[in-house]
Structure 1
Amino acid sequence: ETSLLLSFLIILSHFVVEIHGKNKQVEALDNPHKAKYIENSEIDKSEFEVQEIVYDIDAIADSQKGVKENDRIKKLPGQPFVKFSQFGGYVTLDKLSGSAFYYYFVEAHQS
């Protein structure tokens, strides 16, 4: 009887901690969102300024010719056999600054 009561209290305390902890987390994540609506908040609300960057699309397209097969992914770790082609790799955006982004692409057999 004592062990049953102890087990019940442990389970009950677990649920209380779960519920209380989640509310704290929601509040912590919601506070910055609400803060930007306060009149005298220090959050920057200025308009986003778009920078005009001109790329030579022909130079980019030429540099990517023939690299599709090099980016083919045969199988991802833990992935079962799949009936589609998948590719992944880096596309250089700016050689001088070294900026690039990684892409993952799945090629459908039917559209």
Structure 2
Amino acid sequence: MRVRQDIIDRLYAGADPFSNFPESLYQVDTQGWNSQHPYLSRAIDVARPEVVVEIGVWKGGSTLFMAEHLRRLELDAVVIAAAYGDGKVEHFNGKCIFRKAPEAVRG
């Protein structure tokens, strides 16, 4: 997995941050919205990427689906999942981050 190791070398000076991840401490819950939609695997089939970046990850269902598809195709590739907070604004427990935005930001 040259691509994965290259990313670890560049971002983490070669020290894999996941090498001792305590999986047993976390319950797996990968539900999601259209996490296994055919367009995800078709896009990978066509593009055959080395890096897939998913922006806006809820519980990782589509992230795992794409990673498993890359593995089935035996591609030297990785999926980078970037989550932003708790997801939708509604998930901020009623504390909307946009209410107090300066006028310049609100437009």
User: TM exceeds 0.5?
Assistant: no
Largest Rg, 1 or 2: 1
- Taking CA–CA contacts closer than 8 Å with sequence separation of 6 or more, which of the two structures ends up with the larger relative contact order? 2
Band of TM-score, shorter chain: under 0.3
TM-score by length of 1: 0.21
